[in-house]
Structure 1
C-alpha cells in the first residue's frame, strides 16, 4: 500500500487498535471482583454499549453548549428565506453541519490520529477561525471539556499518548504568558480537545467524529426549542429520524479525506449570521 488513502486506512486501523488496548487496560485496572451477584452470561462485556461514548453523548455534559445557538438566532432574525421558522430550520441545520464539517472536522480527525500534535493543531485552528464570535464559543466549550477531563474523566484513562498530550496541553494553557518560546500559542478549541479526550477514552475515530457532529445537531435543535421554532416532541422526532442521520453521514463522507490544509468555511453566510448575532437588538443566546 503506497497511496495516501491506503496509508490513512492503516493509520486509522492502528489508532482503533490502540484505543481498544487502552480501554481494555482501563477495564482490567478497575474491573470489580467477579461474583455471583454481578455475573450475567446474557450480557458479555464486549456486547455492551461503549460507556465513555454514552458519557460524552449526554446532553447534561457540562460544556455550556446550551448557551450557544450556532447562529440560529441571528439566522431567524435576518430571515433570508420566505418561510416559517419551522420550515426554514432543517435548511439551517444542514448548513450548520456543513460548516462544522468543513472548518473543524479535519482538525478533529488529525488530533485523534496524532494526539501528540494537539498544541500545533489548536494553534492552527485558532489562526484559521476568522469569526471572533465562533472562536469564543469554540474556546469556551474546549476549556470546559478540558476541565471536565481533568476533574472527572481522567481517572482510568491510563498513560496513553492522548492522555499525556492533554496533560501537556493543560500545562501550557494554564501558563502565563500563553506564548511558548517557539512562538506557538494555544487557545483550547473544542474540536482538537474533543478528539484527544475521545482517543484517550478508547473511542474510535468514526465514533468520535459522528458523536461530535450529532452533539452539535442536538445543541442546535435544543436552541430551536428554546427559540420557539418547534416543540420538544418535534425536536425529538427530528433527532430520531433518518433524515438527520443521513445528513451527518453525508457530511462525514464528503469531508473524511480532507486535510487540515484544505479546511475552509464551506458556508460563508454562517460566519455572517454568527458574527452579526451580537448586533441583534435582543437575544437569548451568547452566539
Structure 2
C-alpha cells in the first residue's frame, strides 16, 4: 500500500516535472480546427493514447528487461532508437527537459536509490536522457512493478491532455473529468495490446498528431509551449 502511495505521489500533477507546460499538439489541433467537437476530442484522445502505447510502451518494457540498465550496452541502442523517433523538435526538447527534471526530482526524494548512475551513464554516452527512458529506468531501480508503471504512464498521458483541454476552455472541469473517467474503461485493452512489445517494435500510429505538433509553432497566441 505504501509503495502504491509513493507511485501515486510521483505521478501527481503537482510534481514539478514540467509536463503541464505542454499540450502535445492539442492546442494547435483545436486552433486549426482538427478538433472541433466533444466527439472529435474523444477520437483525438483515443488516437493519442494508441500512439502512447505503440510508441512509448515498447521502450518502457525494454528498459525494464535490462538486467543492469546503468551499465548494459543494450541501453545505448534503446536510447539512440528512442531519440531518433522523436521527430518533432519541440517535443524532443520537451522530452529532454522533462527527463532532467524527473531525475533531479527523484534523486532528491530517494537518495538511497543511487539514481545518479543513470544520469552519469547518459552523460558518459552523450545520449539525451528522454523522459520516457528516465521514467522507466528510475522506477525500475526503485522497485516498482512494470504493470503499475505502464498504468501510471497511460494515466499521466490522459490526464495531461484532459487538463490541457480544460485550460484551453474547450470543456468544463466536470465534463473533462467525466471524460477522463470514461476513458479508463479502455485502458486494459490498450495496455494488453503492447504489454510485451519491445523497442524494436515501437511505431508512431497517429501522424496527424505529429503534424499538429509541428504546426504549434504557427499558433499566434499560445497557452502552452508545444
TM-score by length of 2: 0.89
1:75 and 2:24 matched: no
CA contact (8 A) 1:107 1:191 kept: yes
TM-score by length of 1: 0.71
CA contact (8 A) 1:99 1:270 kept: no
Distance 2:126 2:54 in 1: 23
Aligned to 2:116: 167
Distance 1:121 1:261 in 2: 8
Q: Which whole-Å deviations, capped at 9, do the CAs of 1:137-162 have from their partners, x for residues lacking one?
A: 2112111101111222x2343xxxxx
Distance 1:121 1:258 in 2: 13
Q: Which whole-Å deviations, capped at 9, do the CAs of 1:37-82 have from their partners, x for residues lacking one?
A: xxxxxxxxxx55623212122111111111011110111122236x
Q: Which has the higher contact order (CA 8 A, sep 6+)?
A: 2
CA contact (8 A) 2:61 2:196 kept: no
Q: How many residues align?
A: 221
CA contact (8 A) 2:25 2:213 kept: yes
CA contact (8 A) 2:3 2:144 kept: no
Of residues 79, 98, 123, the one that matches 1:141 is 98
Matches within 5 A, 1:110-125: 110-114=62-66, 115-116=69-70, 117=72, 118-125=75-82
CA contact (8 A) 1:145 1:194 kept: yes
CA contact (8 A) 2:59 2:132 kept: yes
Of residues 219, 222, 226, the one that matches 1:283 is 222
Distance 2:22 2:200 in 1: 27
Deviation at 1:193, TM superposition (A): 0.7
Of residues 46, 54, 64, the one that matches 1:102 is 54
Deviation at 1:233, TM superposition (A): 1.6
Distance 1:53 1:124 in 2: 27
Distance 1:263 1:185 in 2: 23
Q: Which whole-Å deviations, capped at 9, do the CAs of 1:84-109 have from their partners, x for residues lacking one?
A: 2x332111111111111111211111
1:249 and 2:168 matched: no
Aligned to 1:269: 208
Larger Rg: 1
Distance 1:70 1:149 in 2: 24
CA contact (8 A) 2:55 2:202 kept: yes
| Structure 1 portions without partners, runs of 5+ | 1-46, 158-162
Distance 1:221 1:77 in 2: 16
Distance 1:80 1:274 in 2: 12
Distance 2:200 2:164 in 1: 32
- RMSD of equivalent CA atoms: 2.0
CA contact (8 A) 2:102 2:134 kept: yes
Deviation at 1:168, TM superposition (A): 2.5
| Structure 2 portions without partners, runs of 5+ | none
Deviation at 1:209, TM superposition (A): 0.7
Q: Which whole-Å deviations, capped at 9, do the CAs of 1:169-207 have from their partners, x for residues lacking one?
A: 31244x5xxxx5xxx531111111111121122211000
Deviation at 1:124, TM superposition (A): 2.0
